[in-house]
Amino acid sequence: MRDVAIIGVSQTKFGELWEKSFRDLVVEAGVAAIRDANMVGDDLDAMYIGNMSGGLFVGQEHIGALIAEHSGLAPIPATRVEAACASGGLALRQAIMAVASGYYDHVMAAGVEKMTDVVDATPAIAAAADQEWEAQQGVTFPSLYAMMARRHMYEYGTTREQIAGFAVLGHKNGALNPKAQFQREISIDAVLNSTKVAEPLNLLDCSPVSDGAAAVIVVPADEAQKYTDTPVYVRASTQASDTIALHSRKSLTTIQSTVLASRKAYEIAGLKPEDMDVAEVHDCFSINGLLAIEDLGFFEKGKGGQAIEDGLIERDSDIAVNTSGGLKARGHPLGATGIAQAAEVTWQLRQEADKRQVSDVENGLTLNIGGTGGTAAVHILSINRK
């Protein structure tokens, strides 16, 4: 297996992008990534596109071929990858494995979602849940994550303010990100007094409905310096699964797929949780961000709330979490999220994150989750090849 490096990244603005179409967004991201990699389109051997539900959001399937055509890259092999909200992370994993195996040399992983073109996005998003046992019974993702929050509060004494603190962190960082959907700070009181969605979660605990796209280009590590002076090396790319239905889990306070995927990633990379300087974690709801920093091994189970309250995941901390603003503030166009996470960590490692730049960054991690944890994709990126 060959070592793999990232040489180009991009992200469109995330938000309610009424003036741009589904295909416009992914082409915009792809062109920018190609330019960032100092390549031309003909240099690419293949594309993997993360997209959760183009069929339900914009009525479009056969997405790989559509994007290859509209980008002017046909007849390039273009494959759509779907794993609910983890579609982007798995598209990146497919691209990495294709290059690592030697089957392709220059591969783009992209992610895209156009979510605002429907009157109600809830049914499309609910397709990531167990239809028979959850969605068809009226269960929504806010209510599922609310149950996880309630149980964490019961088992560990986690406070409502601590959970809200993760959303506050996202907005604090998102205010410095010009590509974020929400570029304003919020307070704990604002979260607690926002519209109730599913007790104990309120509106400002929830990530928004978003449009957007992102792209990453990967090549063999031995070739990376032909294109850039600042390659970012893929130290690990892992994936794990769990039950889709929440009621089948052994615990509501641990996302086992995250635990397993991250343990394997640390093992492959030869690194530990404490070696990570930055992390982009999946915070579709504020409680998910709290669970992530525990399940990734940054803090003991049950201590995540206190870590948030004590400011231990701020940009000047040992582990800076969601410097992009996370799903809460940067936005969450489902298929694009995992790719955007990798783009943010790459910018941090290349010292290109502008006002949100973390000092002395060597290693970073991304965690992209599908549904309530039925799928988890973890990537460890570094400025060091080994």
Where does the pLDDT of residue 118 fall: very low under 50, low under 70, confident under 90, or very high at 90 and above? confident
Question: 48-92 pLDDT, tens per residue?
Answer: 999 999 999 999 999 999 999 999 999 999 999 999 999 999 999
Judge whether residue 120 has pLDDT over 90: no
Mean pLDDT to the nearest integer, 267-276? 98
- From 85, 106, 284, 379, active-site residue: 85
| Cα angle for residues 385, 297, 260 (degrees, 5° grid) | 80
Residue 276 β-bridge partners: none
Phi, psi (5° rounding) for residue 115? -100, -15
Helix ranges (DSSP H) in 37-184? 54-58, 63-70, 87-101, 122-126, 141-156, 160-174
Question: Which of 50, 3, 6 has the alpha carbon at shortest distance from 352?
Answer: 6
Note if 247 is an active site residue. Answer: no
Comparing 15-24, 123-132, 207-216, 237-246, the range with the smallest average pLDDT is 123-132
For residue 302, pLDDT over 90 is answered with yes
Q: Which residues of 314-343 are buried (b: 16+ CB within 10 A; e: fewer)?
A: bbeeebbbbbbbbbbbbbbbbbbbbbbbbb
Mean pLDDT of 187-200: 97
Tokens (6 digits) for 208: 């928004």
Query: Among 6, 7, 94, which Cα is nearest to 368's?
Result: 94
pLDDT at 122: 86
Burial (CB count within 10 angstroms: exposed 0-12, middle 13-18, buried 19+), residue 133: middle
pLDDT score of 307 = 98
Q: For the whole model, what pTM was predicted?
A: 0.97
In this structure, what are the phi and psi dihedrals at residue 7, rounded to the nearest 5 degrees? -120, -10
Average pLDDT over residues 170-184: 98
How far is residue 372 from each of residues 129, 200, 211, measured CA to CA in Å?
Answer: 8, 17, 21
Domain annotation for the chain: domains and CATH numbers: 4-120+209-226 (3.40.47.10), 122-207+233-382 (3.40.47.10)
Pick the catalytic residue from 152, 171, 332, 379: 332
pLDDT digits (tens, 9 = 90+) for 306-363: 999 999 999 999 999 999 999 999 999 999 999 999 999 999 999 999 999 999 999 9
Quick check: is 284 catalytic?
A: no
